[in-house]
Amino acid sequence: MIIVAHTPAEVREIVDAWKVQNLSIGLVPTMGFLHEGHASLIKKAREENDRVIVSDFVNPIQFGPSEDFEAYPRDFEADKALCEELGADMIFNPEAPDMYAENFSTYVNVDEITDVLCGAKRPGHFKGVCTVVSKLFNISGADRAYFGQKDAQQLAVIRRMVRDLNFPIEIVGCPIIREDDGLAKSSRNTYLNEAERKAALVLNRSLQKGMELILDDGIDDAKTVKDAIRMEIEQEGLAMIDYIEIVEWDSLANVNKIDGPVLCAIAVYIGKTRLIDNFIVGEV
Ligand code: AMP
């Protein structure tokens, strides 16, 4: 039976016992409503660690005031069943007051690489992410934590934070898991109606075009690649571009000429739903 923990103290008590036995711990931080993208992280954590903790928490402080915190899909029983099936040892499902005391006042802020891409569009988002992830690292005492390339900027920001603050943890990046038709799996895909679901394919389709230009045609001018992606997306009536960027991986510094590892990341509104997708040329 999977252990269900609701408070940091409950997690800590069990983790302390695991540590005494010298067991390695893998952490998979999620906001729940788990799908095969999350499952891939849990499977990898299962392969590489003696114990696996999945955190399942819709973190209020990483949502902006006009964002979808209330509407964000939740299904704890299904999440628990999937975690159990995948062999996770513990699912940590706190309520906001378990994580944030009334006079909570300590935040983790990573400068500069949070000013671009999603960070530029979602002020305060990465401050909320870095704060909750720091807490989860401390609560879980994990040796390794697993993050998806789906949220590539998040992966880069967490790696930077871990390096800068000497967190004793290894960050493992995992590839993007897609639906059969190419749409990157996301809990937010549930917001899409039938027409929007079809329109959402433009994200992966446009990125494929961009990737072909770089890898097959040897185009090294970032603007040319971004323009091609933009043209493809603009042909989809339900799509509205939030950003198309090509940056150095994983410093996220601006790139004009593509001559090393790069992240090509896009954010596109399909109707009211904001979706992100990306590809990386080079090692994740
Ligand atoms: P979330 O629940 O959306 O916060 O995501 C939790 C973790 O799962 C993050 O590290 C995500 O990058 C990862 N993840 C979400 N969707 C996917 C996907 N389609 N493929 C791989 N990883 C994913």
Which pLDDT score is estimated for 196?
98
pLDDT tens track for 127-185: 999 999 999 999 999 999 999 999 999 999 999 999 999 999 999 999 999 999 999 99
User: Rounded CA gap, 232 and 217, in Å?
Assistant: 17
Q: Is the CB of 148 under 6 A from ligand 1?
A: yes
**The tokens of 146 are what?**
């697993």
Name the percent of the chain lying above pLDDT 70.
Answer: 100
Q: Which atom of ligand 1 is nearest to the CA of 38?
A: 8
What does the pLDDT average to over 218-226?
98
Report strand pairing: 239-248 vs 262-270: antiparallel
Ligand 1 contacts CB of residue 184 (under 6 A): yes
pLDDT at position 120 is: 98
Mutational test site, ligand 1, from 30, 53, 63, 132, max ligand atoms within 8 Å of CB: 30
Give the Cα separation of 180 and 164 in Å (integer): 38
**38 counts as catalytic:** yes
Give 38-66 pLDDT, tens digit per residue: 999 999 999 999 999 999 999 999 999 99
Task: Kindly state if the Cβ of 125 falls inside 6 Å of ligand 1.
Answer: no
Q: What is the pLDDT of residue 114?
A: 98
pLDDT value, residue 179: 98
Cα(218) to centroid(ligand 1), Å = 30
Which three-class secondary structure state does DSSP give residue 251?
A: coil
The pLDDT assigned to 55 comes to: 99
Instruction: Record the pTM.
Output: 0.98
For 196, phi then psi, to 5°, come to -70, -35
**DSSP element (H, E) containing 134:** helix 125-140
Average pLDDT value for residue range 82-106: 98
